[in-house]
Amino acid sequence: MVSPPLERPHPAAPATTRRTGERLRATPIVVALVAIVAATMVAGLLAARIFAGTQLPVLLAGATLGAVALTVLLRLVRAPALLALLAGLAGLAACLVGATAALRDPTKGVGDALFDAVRNSGARILTSAIPVPPEPDTVLLPIAACWLAAAVATVLLGPLRAAPGARRRPGLAAIPPTVLLVGALVLVGPNGAVSYPAVAGFAVALAVLLAAAARPWQVRAEPDPAAAGLPAAGGSRLAVARRLASAIVVMAVLAAAALFGGPVVASAIHRQPVDPRSYVVPPKQQLDQLNPLGMLGAWALDPHQNLLQVTTNKPARIQWATLSGFDGINWQPDRTYRSAGAVLPPPTGLDDATTTVRQQVTVDALGGSWLPVVAAPREVHGVRVGYDAAAGAVLAPDGLKPGLTYQTVSAVPRQDPDMLAAASVPPGIAQRYLTVPPGAPADLVTLAQRTAGNAGPYRKALLLEQLLRTRYEYWSKAPSGNGYVTLKHFLLTKKSAGGGRGTSEQFASAFAVMGRVVGLPTRVVVGFHAGKRIGAHRYQVTSGDAFAWPEVYLAGHGWVAFDPTPVAKKGATPPDEDTPQAKSEQSKKSQQLDQGAPSAAPSQPAPGPSGSSKAAAAAGGPALPPGAYGGIAAALLLALLVAAVPVLRSRRSGRRLRTGTPAQRVLGAWTEIREALRLAGHRPPAAASAAEVARLAATGVPDRPGTPPLPDLRPLAEVVNAVGFAPEVTFAPADADRAAELARDYHRGLRSRHGLLSRLRWRLDPRPLFWR
């Protein structure tokens, strides 16, 4: 090996080379900024899943791009980091004002809407029905969060211009988007669909950020690639590509763990994500009007008031107010309504097919705050609404006024009595639907228990319905009342003494109370029949169409309506019930009562085995729990990726030591030695010369008894200096072979000075795939 002169200054590079280097240094910054934008937008869009429409995703994308662009501009003019963030708040304010102006109610000023939105944004998100309507008081918080996350990440990335000692900090830059992602997942909770692809995209964006921005600024003297026969730009691009591929491999491990490990953990602990909305109770609505049940008596005496005009594709009974609370004196209407948009959340846990009913309703003389809709509403247009998801009831916070016109779309369940006969009461039903206040008359309790017997839930309800329809009479002049005193008189007093007669108020209340006595979750609903036809698909709803009916909640079917009130005229049926479907269902009910339905409803059947679980059961082995096969696949994939680390590292070392010109192989051997020092925890300083690294390799590594001494690296350091600073010196393949052997010997000697676990980690450590 020729002994070259040690170190001499590197000659100035041509202008073309300097410009190429500047472009290469700028490219990772641009890629890192794009990765910050992508990661922030993915995190923001995860939160936007619980919002209606596309307005919020567009606003979040604009806020993210605006934050990064403004922060980059301020940093390029050398504004300090804190000043760049503070100046960026002006851009955020402009973005919030624009969003408020675009989404506000036209009757409100921009200033008032903005002040109210800033003050109440977080609370309105948590107290609104899902999908959350895109209004100023719900979108301002997500917009501000995306803006701040993108701006802070851009500042934490580090300086955008090269400077002595300047270093980028991709790890810090990844923190704000990650915090935003965690916040989005917590906000959505169990209300959004599975988002593994989005999380995987977020992981890829972070991998690109770490790979593109991990390299520090190169402001110290380095060996001349051209003198060693290396193309400046091509080698750098190849190195970046390798590091990017390595980053993606590691992030794929994390994504696979999240993709397959999440269901395993969820199936192991049998828990849904925590919903923060369950800890925030929306404000009670103050409904300053008469109890809707009490209004039925007055309407029965004056049945010709025009209340609504309805245009519909299918006549159906209209739900007005739901009453779930009973205190022994009155039934109280539900008051917990969340602010909602035009699209209402679908009911959960229902298996029945549905029929779409569309209506346009114009209010005549109906007042109050409840909004008349067909059961199971899905869309409401033309009026601001609140929604009680548990009750399926809709509120008009601004009240009903004559001339108000709105449109609704409802998905009415088609409930089959044959399926209802096997339904059970869900174990998690709210207690308010089962509460029987103290003071219930003993004779009323006895009557309910004797009538229902030990039948299943649906048959109990049919028996109570039949009792009321056959043994009691409808009387429009019956006095109003629905408490224990009134119900005792209605149910237990002889007709000759004034008992046994009532309006739908007493029939529905009696059914609901007796149903709760025998364990049925019940409520009372006040609404209207479809009305009198006055034209093509048009109906007039009057006060004579108002009535109350009880409903029972059954698993898989939701609220099931019953009609215990006898019709005023024998043989007459209301318009909305005079349909083939209604007649068929009533016929099935009668047959079940005549023939006898099952004495007790079976408990909810456990879902049968499917897929590979069936195969396991057929083979006589125990069936694996849900998600177990995903866990097995995740474990196999993780093991495969871990096993690939030493293979990838070995191939890369082989390319360094065996391919290329002799000068390139010498530099590859020196890179292997620097990696060995880093694996051993003795990372050489970035600006250390070859001689200083050789000195650290000899004196900075502690000895271990029984291990051979480490080889002397000073000759190799001289050769490395010659590669960079003595282009006139030529090297033979034998010189490169000796450098490679020296690197291998040093690697083995340094590794032997560590314990068994450290040596195992040495081989499986994926970090060298990222190192430059």
pTM confidence score: 0.55
Q: What percent of the chain has pLDDT over 70?
A: 74
Distance CA 512, CA 520 (A): 8
Give the pLDDT of residue 185: 85
Distance CA 234, CA 241 (A): 10
Q: Rg of the chain's alpha carbons, rounded to an integer?
A: 38
**pLDDT tens digits for range 332-364:** 887 778 777 778 877 777 888 888 999 999 999
Any residues with CB less than 8 A from the CB of 32 and at least 6 apart, and which?
A: 157, 168, 170, 173, 208, 209, 212, 213
Spell out the CATH class of 420-527+547-595: alpha beta
Task: Considering the chain, tell me which residue range(s) the CATH 3.10.620.30 domain(s) occupy.
Answer: 420-527+547-595
How far, CA to CA in Å, does 462 sit from each of 414, 436, 448, 467? 18, 20, 12, 9
Residue 291: Cβ within 10 Å count = 18
Distance CA 229, CA 364 (A): 90
**pLDDT tens digits for range 517-544:** 999 999 999 999 999 999 888 999 999 9
Least confident of 242-246, 419-423, 454-458, 711-715: 242-246
Where does residue 331 rank: exposed (0-12), middle (13-18), buried (19+ CB within 10 A)?
Answer: buried
Which DSSP string do the residues of 520-583 spell out, in sequence order?
--EEEEEEE---EEEETTEEEEEGGGEEEEEEEEETBTEEEE---SPPSSTT---GGG-SHHHH
Any residues with CB less than 8 A from the CB of 618 and at least 6 apart, and which?
A: none
Helix H or strand E segment including 377: strand 377-381
pLDDT beyond 80 at 725: no
Which pair of structure tokens corresponds to residue 421? 């006969």
Of residues 645 and 71, which shows the higher confidence score? 71
Q: Residue 601 has what DSSP assignment?
A: P
Indicate the pLDDT class of residue 142, thresholds 50, 70 and 90. very high
Which pair of structure tokens corresponds to residue 528? 């209207």
What mean pLDDT, rounded, does the chain reach? 77
Mean pLDDT of 703-708: 72
Any residues with CB less than 8 A from the CB of 487 and at least 6 apart, and which?
A: 441, 444, 506, 509, 510, 513
Contact yes or no for 275/191 (Cβ under 8 A):
yes
CA end-to-end span of the chain? 28
pLDDT beyond 70 at 635: no
Write a three-state SS string for 225-257.
Answer: CCCCCCCHHHHHHHHHHHHHHHHHHHHHHHHHH
CA max distance for the chain: 128
Distance CA 411, CA 166 (A): 62
Q: Is the peptide bond before 333 cis (omega within 30 degrees of 0)?
A: no
pLDDT beyond 70 at 323: yes
The number of residues in the chain equals 772
CA 513 remoteness from chain centre: 39
**pLDDT tens digits for range 420-432:** 888 999 888 888 8
Q: Residue 391 has what DSSP assignment?
A: T
Give the pLDDT of residue 472: 93
Distance CA 370, CA 287 (A): 9
Helix-helix angle 136-156:55-76, to 10 degrees:
30
Helix H or strand E segment including 20: helix 15-47
**pLDDT tens digits for range 58-103:** 999 999 999 999 998 888 887 888 888 888 888 888 888 888 888 8
Give the pLDDT of residue 22: 44
Of residues 398 and 267, which shows the higher confidence score? 398
